[in-house]
Structure 1
Amino acid sequence: MTFDHREPGTDEEVWAMSSPPSLPLIDLDVDRVVVIAAHPDDESLGAAGLLTIAAARGIALDLIVVTDGEGSHPDSPTHSPATLALLRRRELIDASRIVGLRGDPVFLGLPDGGTDAYRDDIAAALRDALDRAGGERVLVLSPWRGDGHRDHRVVGEIAEEVCAARGVRSRAFPIWLWHWGTPEDAPWSRAERLILDGPARDAKTRAIEAHASQLRPLSAAPGDEPMVHARMRAHFARDTEVFFAPEPAVAESPGHPAETLGQDYFDGMYARHDDPWGFDTRWYEERKRAVLLAALPRRRYRSVFEAGCSAGALTAHLAERGDRVLAVDLAPAAVEKAQRRLSGRDHVEVRRARLPDEWPEGVFDLVVLSEVAYYWGDGDLERGLAAGVDSLAADGHLVVCHWRHPVAEYPRSGDDVHAALAARSDVSRLVRHEEADFVLEVFGRRGARSVAAEAGLVP
């Protein structure tokens, strides 16, 4: 989902007239509420009423703030990111006191907009909070993963994963959904509400007002406009707060093979996010591409095939190294973006295909499987790897690169993919680059020669 905070957005009256009138009430029979927020002000906009009511009932509160929100005004001529970070921390502390937080918030200080590269750190901070809670009954609150903001998605995913593993109840609060969405976009079947009394509504109003840097212009200069305008703020003046329960996990029967993720998953990702995995915005992805390109054993290739090209960030670089490039993706939105990016390059073709069923015909001397094979179920993984090897020219190279951390929706891990390929008897590994976050390997057909051997430097 792409949205602009400066746009008017959905009028609050649309939500008031169309939202289900009788959602079940959220259960607050707990000893402690732990909030993990992506940015300062998430907790106030999404859950200040709940926190106020919980504190009034004697329920302990913990608050973890993942980033300092220093990226809120990237074009500000008056406030540097460091200045904004300090300002927003002070605002958060003021807001937390209003809702009843007695201890100090935990500030992780991770990069605003870059949370995906720090999933382990975020998960560790949440686990630490749950460890400190001991045997208490805990409710964890986080931004909703479908909110349309990358950091909200990442923090929401981590909260659900950690809580599911620990058997802890979690709920997510939407923020930007109210701005870009309509009632048809909300998962009402998993929604719960909390009715706010007068003191809770008053506290929420004051807590939101504490985040002045987001509500009012930093100055009269362009780039210092408010992040949350009055029309957006109207969504948080309601007498209720809404929370979404996690999507129920689909239990696998013993011996039942993992299933390939279908098109609905990817269509949903591109509907909610302009750049779902941050291929064009994250230093992590830019660096990983550079590592992959540096690992290619040959300077130039005759024919390149890239599976799962997304919006074409890597494809554009492969086009500089190949005489002919074919790139495919399952999601029409991704294919359209890639075609626009590569328009005018006559030697590059981008088209939609469902892999491995629609593996292209022909022979390639470079096949690239980057961040794609962990989406395949058991049978499709076997067929996809076989198709990749079978389509290699005699002197061809197969490049595989995958994220190593577990993702709840994926049928397998990146390590599983690489282990399955390494177990094949018809390929030889030429390159292996392993980091905590990803593993990159290059294979050739059995007996493939190293770079030095191809250059005649060694026998």
Structure 2
Amino acid sequence: MARRARPGRPGPVAARRPGVELVTDEVTAPQFRHDRPGTPAADWSSTVGSLPTTALPQGRSRLVVVGAHPDDETLGAGGLVHTAASAGLRVEVVTATAGEGSHPSSPTHPPGRLAEVRRAELRRATSLLAPGAEVACLDLPDGDVAAHEEELVAVLVEMIGTDGADVVLCAPWRRDGHPDHEAVGRAAATAAHRTDAQLLEYPVWLWHWGRPDDLSGSDVVRLPLAPAAVAAKRAAVAAHASQVRPLSSAPGDEVLLGPDLLAHFGREVEVFVTGGPGTEDDTLDRVHRERPDPWDVGSFYERRKRALTLAALPREHYASALEVGCSVGELAVDLATRCDRLLAVDSSPAAVDLARGRTAGIEGLEVRRARVPDEWPEGRHDLVSVSEVGYFLSPHGLAELVRLCRDSLTDDGHLLLCHWRHQPVGWPLAGPAVHDAFLATGAPVLVEHHEPDFLLHVLGRPS
């Protein structure tokens, strides 16, 4: 647990086309210090004891636990780690930083040396909780994780992959009061949203600075721990010696986690938040707010791709069309020349505003904000277009999109698909996987076009 940190701030995503940024919120952390009196563990006993109990999540075979610093994973979820490993789950532990900032005034342990010590402690503690577990340290700067939040999202999404429905992702609570903890919590919530992983959040600093009322408004549960899990957690906490014992007798090397703090983590239960604030992944909205033409629609690549897309349509004219993911409306302008009525939707308010400006005055064309697949528009269409949007959905979201597109097509309708072939950074799906999901329905393939950078299909309605 790093103790001294700067407040979080948003940062850009390093992504290839589509290039995107991750939206984060500035967080005002509660004012507290580790070396001053906090809420006694006894004050939490009644609240913790009255929480509903839970068990190890069923139907999942992987547990990914992420912390901001070495020891977070042990303090907040060490019992869960031991319980999951004992039940045969594959366990992976990742820490965002090496915790090199925990003793900034140490005369014996400069940051580089302390980082080495804490990485070794992390490996030792994890081996006591889950022998054979995979352990990774990302070495992001201690105290400044928020500036690298999008990198952490990308790492977690890549770790989870397309099998998120098989994963429990456990991370610090997004309201824990420490900027690094909250940044890791936000990144994990975004990764869970994009991959369909089940999210559990564990408080760490809340127990010290907070009061029982601070848990109100959240769905909170307690996981009873078997005696073996309690013992393993106790040993794992002790393995983080740089935090639970002084580094030396010199000033600046004082113990960070004293007995009063550790008392919060000696319970025979662990507490998790299961229903935190919903994750509004506004990445693409920010892209459109900051860059009115994020995809460079006037480039030769985009102009040629649109021309091929229009040329691939087997019918000269359509009665009613739906475009999913219209962005700034450039393709909608072209599709409108081939349709009596066109409804173009996008989840981004900024994109919808841009598209409405671009398409103003075009008869029969409506632009509407809708978050697909949850806000699917009613009606049936003889043309549905899904272009450069499928890989921004989770695997479950994509499956729902496939179903809704099928159900919205008329018997003689056409489904138009066009996607970039490469892997967007920070999302689990790529264009080929999107097209494969639609092809798996058995829909007749009317047009198929492959290029190094994009795929184009026109499908009929599955029987």
Counterparts of 2:239 and 2:110, CA distance in 1: 20
Query: How much identity, in percent, do the aligned residues show?
Result: 40
Alignment of 1:240-279 (within 5 A): 240-249=269-278
Alignment of 1:53 onto 2:83: yes
Counterpart in the other structure of 2:57: 28
Counterpart in the other structure of 1:16: 45
- Residues 217 and 135 of structure 1: CA distance in aligned 2, closer, same or farther (over 3 Å): closer
TM-score (norm 2): 0.53
Counterparts of 1:123 and 1:18, CA distance in 2: 33
What's the offset of the Cα at 1:120? 2.1
2:132 is paired with a residue of what secondary structure? coil
Query: Amino acid of the residue matched to residue 17 of structure 1?
Result: S
Counterparts of 1:38 and 1:3, CA distance in 2: 18
Alignment of 1:64 onto 2:94: yes
| Residues 110-159 of structure 1, C-alpha deviations (whole Å, 9 max, x = no match) | 1001111112211111011102x736611000011111111000000010
What's the offset of the Cα at 1:184? 0.9
Alignment of 1:84-233 (within 5 A): 84-131=114-161, 134=163, 137-187=166-216, 189-233=218-262
| Residues 378-411 of structure 1, C-alpha deviations (whole Å, 9 max, x = no match) | 8xx99xxxxxxxxxxxxxxxxxxxxxxxxxxxxx
| Residues 69-95 of structure 1, C-alpha deviations (whole Å, 9 max, x = no match) | 000001111110001000000000000
Counterparts of 2:116 and 2:184, CA distance in 1: 21
More deviation in 103-112 or 72-81? 103-112
What's the offset of the Cα at 1:101? 4.3
TM-score (norm 1): 0.53
What's the offset of the Cα at 1:247? 2.6
- Residues 196 and 101 of structure 1: CA distance in aligned 2, closer, same or farther (over 3 Å): same
Query: Amino acid of the residue matched to residue 233 of structure 2?
Result: K
Alignment of 1:352-391 (within 5 A): none
2:134 is paired with a residue of what secondary structure? coil
Query: Amino acid of the residue matched to residue 149 of structure 2?
Result: R
- Residues 59 and 156 of structure 1: CA distance in aligned 2, closer, same or farther (over 3 Å): same
What's the offset of the Cα at 1:20? 5.2
Query: Amino acid of the residue matched to residue 55 of structure 1?
Result: A
Query: Amino acid of the residue matched to residue 53 of structure 1?
Result: T
1:41 touches 1:208 (CA, 8 Å); kept in 2?
A: yes
What's the offset of the Cα at 1:228? 0.7
Counterpart in the other structure of 1:276: none
Query: Amino acid of the residue matched to residue 168 of structure 1?
Result: A
- Which ranges of structure 2 fall in alignment gaps of 5 or more residues? 1-29, 287-348, 355-424, 426-463
Aligned residues: 259
Query: Amino acid of the residue matched to residue 8 of structure 1?
Result: P
Alignment of 1:325-336 (within 5 A): none
1:64 touches 1:105 (CA, 8 Å); kept in 2?
A: yes
Counterpart in the other structure of 1:398: none
- Runs of 4 or more off by more than 4 Å in structure 1? none
Counterparts of 1:107 and 1:196, CA distance in 2: 27
1:235 is paired with a residue of what secondary structure? helix
Query: Amino acid of the residue matched to residue 218 of structure 1?
Result: L
- Residues 158 and 231 of structure 1: CA distance in aligned 2, closer, same or farther (over 3 Å): same
Query: Amino acid of the residue matched to residue 124 of structure 1?
Result: A
RMSD: 2.7
Counterparts of 1:250 and 1:219, CA distance in 2: 44
1:62 touches 1:101 (CA, 8 Å); kept in 2?
A: no
Alignment of 1:79 onto 2:109: yes
What's the offset of the Cα at 1:249? 2.8
Counterpart in the other structure of 1:236: 265
Counterparts of 1:10 and 1:174, CA distance in 2: 14
2:163 touches 2:195 (CA, 8 Å); kept in 1?
A: no
Counterparts of 1:125 and 1:232, CA distance in 2: 31
| Residues 351-400 of structure 1, C-alpha deviations (whole Å, 9 max, x = no match) | xxxxxxxxxxxxxxxxxxxxxxxxxx98xx99xxxxxxxxxxxxxxxxxx
Alignment of 1:37 onto 2:71: no
Query: Amino acid of the residue matched to residue 36 of structure 1?
Result: V
Counterparts of 1:248 and 1:143, CA distance in 2: 14
Query: Amino acid of the residue matched to residue 100 of structure 1?
Result: A
- Residues 43 and 181 of structure 1: CA distance in aligned 2, closer, same or farther (over 3 Å): same
Counterparts of 1:45 and 1:135, CA distance in 2: 25
Query: Amino acid of the residue matched to residue 12 of structure 1?
Result: A
Query: Amino acid of the residue matched to residue 50 of structure 2?
Result: P
- Residues 145 and 22 of structure 1: CA distance in aligned 2, closer, same or farther (over 3 Å): closer
